[in-house]
Chains A and B, each alone.
Chain A
Amino acid sequence: MNRLQQLFENKKKDILSIYYTAGYPNLNDTLTIAEALEQAGADFMEIGFPYSDPVADGEVIQGSSKQALDQGMTLEMLFAQLKDLRKTVNIPILLMGYVNVVLQYGVENFCKKCQEVGVDGCIIPDLPMYEYEELYSECFKKHGISNIFLVTPQTSEERIRKIDDLSNAFIYLLSSAATTGKNLDVSANARAYFSRMRNMNLKNPLMIGFGISDKQTFDSANEYAAGAIIGSAFVKNLDPQDVVGSVGRFMKEFR
């Protein structure tokens, strides 16, 4: 059982995960932010490795990715920055990014490195289920890496069941079909979809992401899921002059 599976074993409600982009706002902030987030009470975090063409992302994460790349961020450098991660950070860590970067690094090499530095799972939004099953799943398993799948309001029940089978940590429930950084849709439709998901009695817990920006949206997500994920709102609040302080101030609202 990796740290991520352990967390969901022990905690069933009110789980808070934070996404941020590696190498942003300053190139060497990656580990600093991880430490500050643990201090401030995050349950786990997702570290984005930047990509030049992030089609699933809205302006905020496009911007942080571009700045990180301009500052020289690479996946290789991220693994170097996380070399001593587990000396100071205990909470689960996921890496999140696009498939081409993983492909160029080499899937085997990527999984090995994740295991070495103590990464527990991955979210690769543009890695399709078929390719994951055929080409990646064995390697992920061998190195104890959980692959996280996304589900949207348009995902069919049959496909959700399949995703539940292939998942071993949690399922990432998108609040709506949208790029990142939009506001949470708490319309009747969204509530019906969250309820439908909850009532499917899936073996994996659900985390709601996309559009969670404050205490209010976090709380409404918590009515339906084990917790929620905040990305764009957190990234937007990072102050390059006072990274640790800005993490603390943001987290105060939640913890």
Chain B
Amino acid sequence: MTNYFVNDKGYYGDFGGAYIPEMLYPNVEELRQQYLKVIKEESFQQEFRALLKDYVGRPSPLYLAKRLSERYGANIFLKREDLNHTGAHKINNTIGQILLAEHLGKKRIIAETGAGQHGVATATVCALRGLECVVYMGEVDIKRQAPNVARMKMLGATVVPATSGSKTLKDATNEAMRDWINNPEDTYYIIGSVVGPHPYPDMVAYFQSVISEEAKKQLAEQTGKQSPDYVLACVGGGSNAIGMFYHFIDDEQVQLIAVEAGGKGVDSGFTAATTAKGKEGVLHGSRSILMQTADGQVVEPHSVSAGLDYPGIGPQHAHLFKTGRGKYVSITDDESLDAGLRLTQLEGIIPAIESAHALAYLEYMEFKGGENVVVCLSGRGDKDMETYMKHFNL
């Protein structure tokens, strides 16, 4: 059987590794040596699980969306990560990593953010644990996600604009890495997605795997079946998707569908559809698939959704894609906004535009009837109201 998880060298098939300058080596090595040991400890598990339950509000419901199901002729279940504290799946990971940072004795936390959800989730756990928090955010994203910037500030974080390159998530990640290089001793970098040097992709995947751990159990309770027919999630770097896939990856009956941001169209030159337009290469510390020129320069992505506006995908996704275990598709800006409106009017749930990408792909699927489909509703749409308002003249 193919191994879809990380090996002892930090690789997923051809992808992964730790492509980092020597300045980061001690930090990453410390993490690599500690993370498995620490997260397996009984005391860590107890605290992690307790916070997920009482602070985040887990388990998040698995909701059978009846009117959506009628529309598609299949049982559409929504995994309600939007109901988590702070409004998205991102908090699962920041809870785990802040406990790890404390364990390693770090005093200062840094993070990158795109839509601001990971920034808010990081600022939240820093407030909770009384740690200093610096969040790097692209200047463009700061403008389009103003409410999240205000939330981070209110939570006591310093928000530093990334002004290089496309001024979005990729550049915020560069700035966070530079900060870490310059502050190697006391600083812990909470990466928000399944990207970065090993062990980050594995560690973040583990913290997010609670999504599929719960969904599997909930689906069995509600339908009597262990395996759904399909599992869908949107992919920027890919953390909610890995979390949603995790406990189904080795169950080959389950079709895994990852939905990338097509932007204005895969061939429009304004896209973040990484598997469609990308090639193998190295970005932000791991070997994966990324959008780049023939000269190896990273291409600036485009998506209406800040959380998917990233030119790469995590190495495990690259492996799932290359082995054919996962199906990687894309949805345009307009299709995702329509899907957001549709969910709102059929089910009374305003989704994040990121999550709306996954919902939009239901329009392209053909069902025989009665299939069980789980869609990860990774976040709520409050932060996107301005975009929705503009698009639909609300």
Report chain A residues within 8 Å CB of B298.
52-53, 100
Known: A56-B181, A177-B184. A103 touches B296 (CB 8 A): yes
Counting from the closest, the 7 A-B pairs by CB-CB distance are A104-B296, A101-B296, A150-B22, A125-B21, A74-B295, A154-B26, A52-B297
Is A55 touching B178 in the complex (CB atoms < 8 A)?
A: yes
Residues of chain B lying within 8 A (CB to CB) of residue A156: 26
In the complex, identify which listed stretch (A5-13, A127-135, A236-244) lies at the interface while the others stay far away: A127-135
Within 8 A of B (CB), among A143-159: 149-152, 154-156, 159
CB atoms of B164 and A126 under 8 A apart? no
Please name 24 pairs of A and B residues whose Cβ atoms are closer than 8 Å in the assembled complex, sorted by A: A52-B298, A53-B283, A53-B298, A54-B174, A56-B23, A101-B297, A104-B292, A104-B296, A105-B296, A126-B20, A126-B285, A127-B19, A131-B17, A150-B21, A150-B22, A151-B22, A152-B22, A152-B26, A154-B23, A154-B184, A155-B22, A174-B23, A177-B23, A178-B182
A51 x B297 contact (CB < 8 A): yes
B4-46 near A? 1/0 per residue, CB < 8 Å: 0000010000000111111101100000000000000000000
B residues less than 8 Å from A159 (CB atoms): 25
Chain A 11-43 interface mask (CB, 8 Å, partner B; 1/0) = 000000000000000000000000000000000
Beyond A51-B297, A100-B281, A100-B282, whether A62 also contacts B22 by CB under 8 A is no
B181 contacts A179, C-beta separation under 8 Å = yes
Knowing A127-B19, A177-B182 touch, does A155 contact B25 (C-beta < 8 A)?
yes
Which of B22, B26, B177, B292 is close to A100, meaning CB atoms less than 8 Å apart? B292
- Interchain nearest-CB distance for A67 vs B (Å): 12
Taking CB as reference atom, which chain A residue is nearest B181?
Answer: A179
Q: A62 — which chain B residues lie within 8 A by C-beta? A: 164
**Complexed CA–CA distance, A51 and B282 (Å):** 12
Q: Say yes or no: is A99 at the interface (Cβ < 8 Å to chain B).
A: yes
Are A149 and B296 neighbours in the complex by a CB distance under 8 Å? no
Tell me which of B19, B164, B170, B280 contacts A99 (CB under 8 A).
B19
A-contact 0/1 string along B141-179, CB 8 Å cutoff: 000000000000000000000001100001000100110
A182 to B185, CA, bound (A): 17
A53 with B295, Cβ < 8 A, contacts A125-B21, A131-B19 known: no
- The residues of B that contact A149 with a CB separation of less than 8 Å are 22
Q: Which of A46-87 contact B (CB under 8 A)?
A: 51-56, 58, 62, 66, 69, 74-76
Closest CB-CB distance, B285 to chain A, in whole Å? 7
Q: Chain A residues near B165: list those with CB within 8 A.
A: 52-53, 66
Q: Does B294 contact A (CB under 8 A)?
A: yes
Q: Which residues of A contact B174 (CB under 8 A)?
A: 53-55
Give chain A residues whose Cβ lies under 8 Å from the Cβ of B26: 152, 154-156
| Chain A residue nearest in CB terms to B20 | A126
Task: List A residues 97-128 near B (Cβ within 8 Å).
Answer: 98-105, 125-128
CB atoms of B296 and A75 under 8 A apart: yes
Residue B279 CB within 8 A of the other chain: yes
Is A66 a contact partner of B164 (Cβ separation < 8 A)? Answer: yes
Give the interface SS of chain A, mostly helix, strand, loop or mixed: loop
Contact B23 A150 (CB under 8 A): yes
Contact mask for chain B residues 69-100; partner A; CB cutoff 8 A; 1 contact, 0 none: 00000000000000000000000000000000
Binding site for B on A (CB under 8 A): 51-56, 58, 62, 66, 69, 74-76, 98-105, 125-128, 130-131, 149-152, 154-156, 159, 174, 177-179, 182
Collect the chain B residues with CB atoms within 8 Å of residue A66's CB. Answer: 164-165
Question: Which of A52, A58, A62, A149 has the most B CB atoms < 10 Å from its CB?
Answer: A52
Bound: A127/B182 CA distance, A = 19
Tell whether, in the assembled complex, residue A100 and residue B296 are in contact, meaning their CB atoms are under 8 Å apart: yes
Interface centre among B181, B285, B296 (most CB of A within 10 A): B296
How many angstroms between the C-alpha atoms of A125 and B20 in the bound complex? 7
User: Are B282 and A103 touching (Cβ within 8 A)?
Assistant: yes
Complexed CA–CA distance, A3 and B280 (Å): 34
Residues of B with C-beta under 8 A to A102: 296
Specify which chain B residues have a CB less than 8 angstroms from the CB of A69 in the assembled complex.
Answer: 297
Report B119 CB to chain A, min CB distance, Å: 19
> Which residues on the A side are within 8 Å of B170 (C-beta)?
53
Contact of B22 among A51, A54, A125 (CB under 8 A): A125
Q: Within 8 Å CB of B17, what residues of A?
A: 128, 130-131
What is the minimal beta-carbon distance from A52 to any residue of chain B, in angstroms? 4
- Contact assessment for B164 and A179 in the assembled complex, using a CB-CB cutoff below 8 Å: no
State the CA gap A80–B297 with chains docked (Å): 19
Binary A-proximity of B96-124 (CB < 8 A = 1, otherwise 0): 00000000000000000000000000000
Asked if B296 and A51 make an inter-chain contact with CB atoms under 8 angstroms apart, the answer reads: yes
With A100-B283, A155-B26 known as contacts, the answer to whether A178 contacts B181 (CB < 8 A) is: yes
* Chain A residue with the shortest CB-CB distance to B177: A55
Of chain B, the residue at the smallest CB distance from A150 is B22
Judge whether A179 and B22 touch: CB under 8 Å.
no
The answer on a CB contact under 8 Å between B295 and A128 is no
B373 to A: closest C-beta gap in Å: 37
Interface centre among B22, B164, B165 (most CB of A within 10 A): B22
User: How far does the Cβ of B105 sit from chain A's closest Cβ, in whole Å?
Assistant: 15
- A150 to chain B: which residues have CB within 8 Å? 21-23
Chain A contacts for B178, CB-based, 8 A? 55-56, 58, 179
